[in-house]
């Protein structure tokens, strides 16, 4: 965890940039802050500068440094240009004479070649430190392992050491800086390219078929963090939303324990379960404890523990669930879930059964 | 020069039946007529691509808007990107190069006039094929329609498993055809500049316009070739059972990315370097001074061309390259900023101490300078790979590259239109309409693309047909769309100006701007043979020498 700790200490680019960077970002950050406070929910705006996790913090510090340097360049060159435009404009009283014909100057050319080279060297060194700190961070033994698999158009999350499988809503423990428990994600894709992006927790990393990628999160605050797929992956790229619940270790353990159980088997809803087991549902969906073990769609064992369905496209309410099974295009046109063509009785029984899957 | 001969010719033209005139235009091998064809063709597609952009923006005006379906939205942004890059920017820049390079180097035509015509018709065929997909193609869900795989068609989305039907094939073949046209034009421009310069025009006396188009053409050869190769490989995958990019059979998705971006990044410079060329001709004339640091400008251009060939993977910082690769592409990308900065400083040096005349061409060039500065600086931000992990694939990137393409390339192009329209048509564009066009477009541009950076910083990804309310994106997206409408009005003013000035504009004469390069020595429009007698030049500004025999440039160079 050495590299992670190193990034938490203040360093020189951070000191320079904390002061100037914020001022330069006036428009963006002020606006974002205003919008943050406008709604009561915890973190509705996935603002990259409102970081709550070690890698995102490192990027924020670096970005403030880069913004200060580029901001300074902007001010200098903008002023020179504006000065030239005002100062050297042709005036009515000017004579017909042409101005002095100047062809160039070696000294000036050298100056505006060497200074930018020095700036580039400084920017590069500051960047290289952060690349190394984030990409080459060692994985501590306490880290939580998760495999994230991108699908058209939803997220599959598997916790290989905990035996938990879920979809679209990721639960991870908060990481105490004294005893960090970061989350290390292995990123895979089942079909096309996707990109895993929760702006407040880390930069994005693509999920690419036939390729194993990785990223890590190290949140130091609990809460709900929003993101969504950031690489065009097909028709419903827009509704491939992502929710990350950062929980206290106790809450996380409670959640894991609940997820490790097989599905509820409420004898009262046996009719609905029969519908699930005897129609095409089980070709794509798994419910632990039934004979459904499809992996093309999300695992439904603990469907009701999730706040949303259809990868965040709708709230997880009985009405939405019914509509989703009956006509997915009404919620998410172009999603790969087919309309199930069930009769009303079967549909009601199925939805009642799904509602028991706590 | 021989304006009498021209007057006789044009009088004869008007009496001929239109079929014969049309026939002459279709079969022409004259570089000026082909240049005009390129420009008109590109203007048509500019309007088409602009309408697509407007539809996209209307859909994004409000969260959860259902103005158009996700399928249509995905086709629109694919067609918008492909159209604007391949069927607007490339042909319009080739059009200006075609028209002006022979005139500026004192030649009577391009080196290979018939190859030139072939290139244009190939490019035109490409654009028609792309839009024929609306009739002949099939989308992701079997609806006969346009391609919907994005303008870079990442594997495996463009493979048959995810893109059945023929829409992607129309995209592939359209780019392949126009790509061959571009390669042939590049060869033609290089041959013309190398071997057809008039007596006295050494490489060191060549106008910067010719230098920059020479460099651009060299880059076209290096950049379009891998794209064409990749398109052929994609066709092999789709029809001959190849597995280059077919990940389901062990192919590589990242291989396509490498192929595409080793074309895609140099392509940005293929588009912007001719715009540097416009600006490098226009700013000196309206500052009444020679370009500051001519040899440095040439060196910086060549330097950009070299360095830009080694930066492509900065489009791929998020694909999980190792830290060494990410560091390498960070430093090379930042390095491009140095020669690019040198150019901005040299234009500033040209204006410094001059007598700036704010005619419409100059206004657009000054707009270009400010906006290109900002585009360059947001480019530096994106080059810092950790920062890029947050910005890439977001609306920040969309704002950044539109700053380059609209704020840089399109502004310079408008400047070029106002500057050379008199030469091409013989009539001035209306100055009041020009100023109205400039200010409307400037306001619309900044309303749209300044604000567009912010949703990106707030986590809004690109290419989404709709977005969730309450994430701080709503108001910004609404204002961005309003900016689009203002830009559309400005384009209407521009088109109106182009049409009315053609019939009623003031007569231009040979040299309306009191300029210094060879195209201004001939009549407007120039005769078919350009120069009655081949000129001889002694300096970089032959007309300055002619107008100031007491103090010619040739004394200092």
Q: How far is B319 from chain A (nearest CA, A)?
A: 5
Domain that holds residue B331: 3-555
In a domain, residue A307? The reply is yes
Longest dimension (CA), chain A: 100
Give me the pLDDT at residue B9, please: 52
Residue A96: inside a domain: no
Provide the chain B residues 426-445 that lie in CB contact (below 8 A) with chain A: none
- Under 8 Å CB pairs connecting chains A and B tally to 293
Its domain, for residue A75, covers 2-91+105-135
* Chain B residues within 8 A of A90 when measuring between CB atoms: 288, 355-358
Judged by CB atoms within 8 Å, which residues 453-492 of B form the interface with A? 453-454, 457-459, 461-468, 470-472, 476
DSSP letter (8 states) at residue A105: -
User: In angstroms, rounded to a whole number, what is the distance separating the alpha carbons of residues B201 and B337?
Assistant: 31
What pLDDT was estimated at residue A36? Answer: 44
**Which residue among B345, B468, B553 sits closest to A112, beta carbon to beta carbon?**
B345
d(CA B354, CA B347): 11
Tell me, what DSSP letter sits at residue B83? I
DSSP label at B138?
-
CB of A196 closer than 8 Å to CB of A231? no
pLDDT tens string B13-72: 567 888 999 999 999 999 999 999 999 999 999 999 999 999 999 999 999 999 999 999
Cβ-Cβ contacts under 8 Å, A195 against chain B? 318, 393, 461
Instruction: Report helix, strand or coil for B538.
Output: coil
The whole-angstrom separation of Cα A20 and Cα B223 is 40
* Co-location of A24 and A68 in the same domain: yes
Residue whose C-alpha is closest to residue A203's, from B262, B373, B459: B459
CB contacts under 8 A, B 376-395 vs A, are: 377-378, 380-381, 384-394
- Structurally, chain A folds into a number of domains equal to 3
User: If you ran DSSP here, which 8-state letter would residue B136 be given?
Assistant: H
Same domain, A173 and A231: yes
Q: Cβ contact (<8 Å) for B384 and A66?
A: yes
Beta bridge pairs of residue B306: none
Residue A313 lies in a domain: yes
- Is residue A75 within 8 Å of residue A65, measured between CB atoms? no
Strands A144-151 and A183-189: parallel
Of A32, A74, A131, Cβ closest to residue B326: A131
CA distance B495 to B51: 14
SS3 B532: coil
DSSP sequence for A259-304? HHSPPP--GGGHHHHHHHHHSTHHHH-B-BTBS-B--SS---TTGG
Residue B207 CA from chain centroid, whole number: 20
Residue A124 sits in the same domain as residue A205:
no
- Please give the pLDDT value at position B136: 76
CATH number at residue B59: 1.20.210.10
pLDDT in tens, chain A (358 residues): 344 444 444 444 444 444 444 444 445 444 444 444 443 345 589 999 999 999 999 999 999 999 999 999 999 999 999 999 999 998 876 667 889 999 999 999 999 999 999 999 999 999 999 999 999 999 999 999 999 999 999 999 999 999 999 999 999 999 999 999 999 999 999 999 999 999 999 999 999 999 999 999 999 999 999 999 999 999 999 999 999 999 999 999 999 999 999 988 888 999 999 999 999 999 999 999 999 999 999 999 999 999 999 999 999 999 999 999 999 999 999 999 999 999 999 999 999 999 999 8
Contact B296 A109 (CB under 8 A): yes
**Is residue A100 domain-resident?**
no
Run of H or E including B451: helix B431-457
Q: Is the peptide bond before B156 cis (omega within 30 degrees of 0)?
A: yes
Q: Is the pLDDT of residue B3 over 60?
A: no
The whole-number pLDDT of residue A37 equals: 44
Give domain status of residue A97, yes or no.
no
Last residue of a domain, one of A260, A284, A316: A260
Residue A98 falls inside a structural domain:
no
How many folded domains does chain B comprise? 1
- The CATH number for A306's domain is 2.60.40.420
Share of chain B above pLDDT 90, in %: 91
Band of the pLDDT at B12, cuts 50, 70, 90? low
**Residues 243-302 (B) with a CB less than 8 A from some CB of A:** 247-248, 250-254, 287-290, 292-296
Q: CA B211 from chain center: how many Å?
A: 17
Is A244 in the same domain as A160?
yes
A99–B389 CB contact, under 8 Å: no
Tens digit of each residue's pLDDT (9 = 90 or more) over B71-117: 999 999 999 999 999 999 999 999 999 999 999 999 999 999 999 99
Neighbouring residues of A179: CB distance < 8 A, sequence distance ≥ 6: A142
Q: How far is CA B483 from CA A25, A30, B55, B450, in A?
A: 22, 22, 13, 10
Q: Are residues A166 and A239 in the same domain?
A: yes
Helices B253-287 and B360-383 pack at an angle, to 10 degrees, of: 140
Nearest to A136 among B157, B293, B323 (CB): B323
Do A127 and A41 sit in the same domain of this protein? yes
A224 lies in the same domain as A131: no
Rg for chain B (alpha carbons), in Å? 23
Q: Are B317 and B384 in contact (CB under 8 A)?
A: no
**Boundary (domain end) residue, out of A206, A232, A260:** A260
Q: Which of A220, A244, A260 lies at the terminal end of a domain, its last residue? A: A260
């Amino acid at each position: 965890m050495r590299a992670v700790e190193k990034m938490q200490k203040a360093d020189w680019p951070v000191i320079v940039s904390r002061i100037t960077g914020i001022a330069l970002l006036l428009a963006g950050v002020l606006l974002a802050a205003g919008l943050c406070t406008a709604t009561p929910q915890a973190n509705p705006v996935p603002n990259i500068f409102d970081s709550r996790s070690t890698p995102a913090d490192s990027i924020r510090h670096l970005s403030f440094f880069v913004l200060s340097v580029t901001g300074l360049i902007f001010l200098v060159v903008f002023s020179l240009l504006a000065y030239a435009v005002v100062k050297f404009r042709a005036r009515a009283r000017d004579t017909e004479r042409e101005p002095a014909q100047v062809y160039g100057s070696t000294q000036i050319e050298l100056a505006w070649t060497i200074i930018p080279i020095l700036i580039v060297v400084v920017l590069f060194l500051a960047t290289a430190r952060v690349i190394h700190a984030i990409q080459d961070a060692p994985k501590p033994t306490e880290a939580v392992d998760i495999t994230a698999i991108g699908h058209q158009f939803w997220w599959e999350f598997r916790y290989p050491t905990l035996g938990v499988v879920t979809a679209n809503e990721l639960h991870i423990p908060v990481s105490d800086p004294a005893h960090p428990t970061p989350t290390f994600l292995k990123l895979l894709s089942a079909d096309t390219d996707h990109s895993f992006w929760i702006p407040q927790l880390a930069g994005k990393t693509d999920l690419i078929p036939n390729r194993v990628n990785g990223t890590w999160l190290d949140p130091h605050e609990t809460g709900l963090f929003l993101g969504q797929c950031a690489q065009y992956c097909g028709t419903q790229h827009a509704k491939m939303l992502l929710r990350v619940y950062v929980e206290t270790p106790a809450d996380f353990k409670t959640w894991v324990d609940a997820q490790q159980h097989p599905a509820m088997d409420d004898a009262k809803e046996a009719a609905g379960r029969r519908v699930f087991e005897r129609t095409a549902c089980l070709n794509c969906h798994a419910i632990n404890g039934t004979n459904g073990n499809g992996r093309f769609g999300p695992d439904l064992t603990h469907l009701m523990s999730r706040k949303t369905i259809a990868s965040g496209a709708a709230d997880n309410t009985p009405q939405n669930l019914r509509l989703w099974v009956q006509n997915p295009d009404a919620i998410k046109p172009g999603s790969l879930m087919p309309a199930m063509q069930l009769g009303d009785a079967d549909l009601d029984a199925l939805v009642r059964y799904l509602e028991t899957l706590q | 020069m021989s304006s009498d001969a021209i007057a006789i010719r044009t009088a004869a033209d008007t009496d001929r039946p239109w079929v014969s005139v049309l026939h002459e235009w279709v079969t022409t091998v004259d570089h000026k007529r082909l240049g005009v064809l390129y420009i008109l063709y590109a203007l048509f597609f500019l309007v088409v691509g602009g309408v697509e952009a407007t539809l996209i923006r209307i859909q994004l005006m409000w969260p959860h808007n259902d103005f158009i379906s996700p399928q249509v939205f995905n086709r629109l942004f694919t067609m918008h990107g492909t159209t604007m890059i391949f069927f607007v920017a490339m042909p319009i820049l080739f059009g200006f190069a075609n028209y002006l390079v022979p005139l500026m180097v004192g030649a009577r035509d391009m080196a290979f006039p018939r190859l030139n015509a072939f290139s244009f018709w190939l490019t035109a065929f490409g654009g028609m094929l792309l839009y024929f997909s609306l009739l002949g193609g099939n989308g992701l869900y079997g609806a006969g329609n346009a391609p919907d795989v994005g303008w870079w068609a990442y594997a495996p989305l463009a493979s048959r498993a995810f893109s059945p039907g023929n829409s992607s094939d129309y995209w592939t073949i359209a780019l392949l055809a126009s790509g061959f046209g571009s390669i042939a034009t590049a060869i033609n421009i290089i041959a013309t500049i190398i071997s057809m310069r008039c007596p006295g025009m050494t490489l060191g006396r060549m106008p910067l316009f010719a230098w920059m188009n020479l460099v651009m053409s060299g880059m076209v050869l290096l950049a379009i070739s891998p794209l064409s190769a990749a398109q052929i490989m994609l066709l092999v995958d789709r029809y001959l059972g190849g597995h280059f990019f077919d990940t389901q059979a062990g192919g590589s998705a990242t291989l396509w990315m490498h192929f595409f971006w080793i074309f895609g990044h140099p392509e940005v410079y293929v588009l912007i370097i001719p715009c540097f060329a416009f600006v490098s001709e226009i700013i000196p004339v309206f500052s009444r001074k020679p370009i500051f640091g001519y040899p440095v400008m040439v060196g910086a251009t060549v330097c950009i061309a070299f360095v830009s060939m080694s930066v492509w993977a900065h489009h791929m910082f998020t694909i999980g390259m190792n830290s060494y690769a990410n560091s390498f592409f960070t430093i090379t990308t930042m390095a491009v900023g140095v020669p690019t900065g040198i150019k901005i400083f040299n234009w500033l040096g040209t204006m410094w101490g001059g007598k700036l005349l704010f005619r419409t061409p100059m206004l657009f060039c000054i707009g270009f300078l400010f906006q290109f500065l900002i585009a360059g600086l947001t480019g530096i931000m994106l080059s810092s790979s950790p920062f890029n992990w947050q910005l890439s694939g977001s609306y920040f990137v969309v704002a950044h590259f539109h700053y380059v393409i609209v704020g840089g390339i399109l502004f310079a192009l408008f400047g070029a239109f106002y500057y050379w329209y008199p030469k091409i048509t013989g009539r001035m564009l209306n100055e009041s309409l020009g100023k109205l066009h400039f200010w409307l477009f400037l306001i619309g541009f900044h309303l749209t693309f300044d604000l567009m950076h912010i949703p990106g910083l707030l986590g809004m990804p690109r290419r989404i047909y709709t977005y969730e309310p309450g994430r701080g994106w709503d108001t910004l997206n609404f204002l961005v769309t309003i900016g689009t409408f203002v830009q559309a009005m400005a384009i209407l003013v521009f088109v109106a100006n182009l049409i009315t000035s053609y019939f009623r504009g003031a007569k231009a004469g040979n040299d309306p701007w009191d300029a210094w390069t060879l195209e201004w020595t001939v009549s407007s429009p120039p005769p078919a043979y350009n120069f009655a007698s081949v000129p001889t030049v002694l300096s970089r500004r032959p007309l300055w020498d002619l107008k100031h025999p007491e103090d010619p440039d040739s004394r200092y160079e």
